[in-house]
Structure 1
Amino acid sequence: MTDFVIAAMPREDSGRRSSRRLRRTGMVPAVLYGDNKPATSLGIEARLLRKLLADERAYAHVITLEFPKGKETALIRDIQMHPYKEEVLHMDFMRVHAGEKVRLHVPIHFLHETTCAGVKAGGVLHRALNDVEVEAPVDRLPEALEVDIAQLEKGESLHLSQINVPAGVILIPLQHDDDKEIVSIHNPRTGAEAEETPEAAAE
């Protein structure tokens, strides 16, 4: 169910002062909750965390937290970043187990972006969505949804209802009759059109 593993240390103290002290030692404070168990405060080495988060798949994948006296499987639920540094300040993990259904956002990867029919014909690609919320059993969570747009022409678009998803995966917006556009190809605006726009607006 998981091939992402990271060492974690439980900690008894919490609060801002404790978190600041922990960060000074090269650790990142975090919390593990869910599965009708008490929340657990923990610390993870910042260098290990940077390596984990460098892989996009980790954000939508089950992660094994290895404690000195056992293991827990979890999903990343929230990441608090420093306002201007590439530094994680705090993380939330949610316990999960095989077969459990969960919701989370997964990235959308477009295939053949630069060689699709509309772009080759001079159109401009517009990505309306970069990710989408899905529901699926944890052992069927897709790391990303791949959408082939090779045949997309100028003036055409694709919506959520038009893409294929793996078995057992539900697109949450469609459950609310929200068939979002995910990608489209427009005719490029010419210089003349751009110049005419202010005049048209004035009229």
Structure 2
Amino acid sequence: MATTHEIKVERRDDDGRGASRRLRKTGKVPAIVYGGELAPVSIQIEHNDVWLASQHEWFYSAILDLSLNGDVQKVLLRDLQRHPFKQQLMHLDFQRVDENKAIRISVPLHFLNQEKSPAGKKAGVLISHALNEVEISCLPKHLPEYIEVDLANLDVGDIVHLSEVQLPEGVEIPELRLGKEHDVAVVTAQEMKEEVEAAPVETAVAGATAAAAPAAAPAAAAKKDEKK
């Protein structure tokens, strides 16, 4: 089970753009909690606290504990709005989690042992990560903060497909149920080929013309002598 993380919040009564602007000037971020059988609730969070949390990978894929005066609700981050150029969070959306219902969320992929693999040890081999995250479905109690992809046996020419990723207990990838065409590549290892530069055509033609010019000059001189 993934580790949960507590974030302290406060309830807010004022809504609207004007109220949100005033709130941000006081160093807080407006947010909303929705979902489940409860009505949506407008909340506010200390900007520094949630900013620090947003620098961690788990903030985007883990179950979060929103604590309102000791009343804890388990949620997932569903949307985050940032300022266009300032290091400032503008608004957050959280969705309540039902422990008995499966959730769908994208989690990051962590690639292990790439440098120790046969492909990683060979020079001139390009190892590409086609995916850095994957959408999964599971009950909240089975939610992993990330999924590990072991590349210890990766060799030149190998392709690791989505269906080959080892999933934790109780976790599935819904996309794989849609058919083989959705079993996309996650990692590829290809040998890089050196390109041989061909001589420019224009240079070759120019050289041929220049070589022919001296030969043409004596022929022209001979015709002038005949006329005389």
The one of 161, 164, 168 equivalent to 1:162 is 164
Corresponding letter in the other structure for 2:97? V
Number of residue pairs aligned between Structure 1 and Structure 2? 196
Separation of aligned partners in 1, 2:82 and 2:184: 29
Unaligned runs of 5+ in 1: none
2:162 matches 1:179? no
2:150 is matched with 148
TM-superposed deviation, 1:3: 3.0
Separation of aligned partners in 2, 1:69 and 1:14: 24
Separation of aligned partners in 2, 1:69 and 1:182: 42
1:36 is matched with 37
Equivalent residues of 2:65, 2:74 under 8 A apart: yes
Separation of aligned partners in 2, 1:12 and 1:29: 11
TM-superposed deviation, 1:133: 0.5
Corresponding letter in the other structure for 2:19? S
Structure with the largest fraction of helix: 2
Secondary structure of 2:104's counterpart equals strand
- After TM superposition, the score normalised by the length of structure 2 is 0.80
Corresponding letter in the other structure for 2:185? E
Q: Rg bigger for which structure?
A: 2
The CA deviation string for residues 63-99 of structure 1, in whole angstroms up to 9 with x for no partner, is: 1111126221111111111122332111110001323
1:68 is matched with 69
Equivalent residues of 1:173, 1:180 under 8 A apart: no
Separation of aligned partners in 2, 1:17 and 1:190: 60
Unaligned runs of 5+ in 2: 202-228
Answer with 76-85 or 142-151: which moved more.
76-85
The CA deviation string for residues 141-197 of structure 1, in whole angstroms up to 9 with x for no partner, is: 0110100011111111101111110111111211222112111111124253xx46x
TM-superposed deviation, 1:139: 1.0
1:10 is matched with 11
Equivalent residues of 2:116, 2:152 under 8 A apart: yes
Secondary structure of 1:48's counterpart equals helix
2:46 is matched with 45
- After TM superposition, the score normalised by the length of structure 1 is 0.90
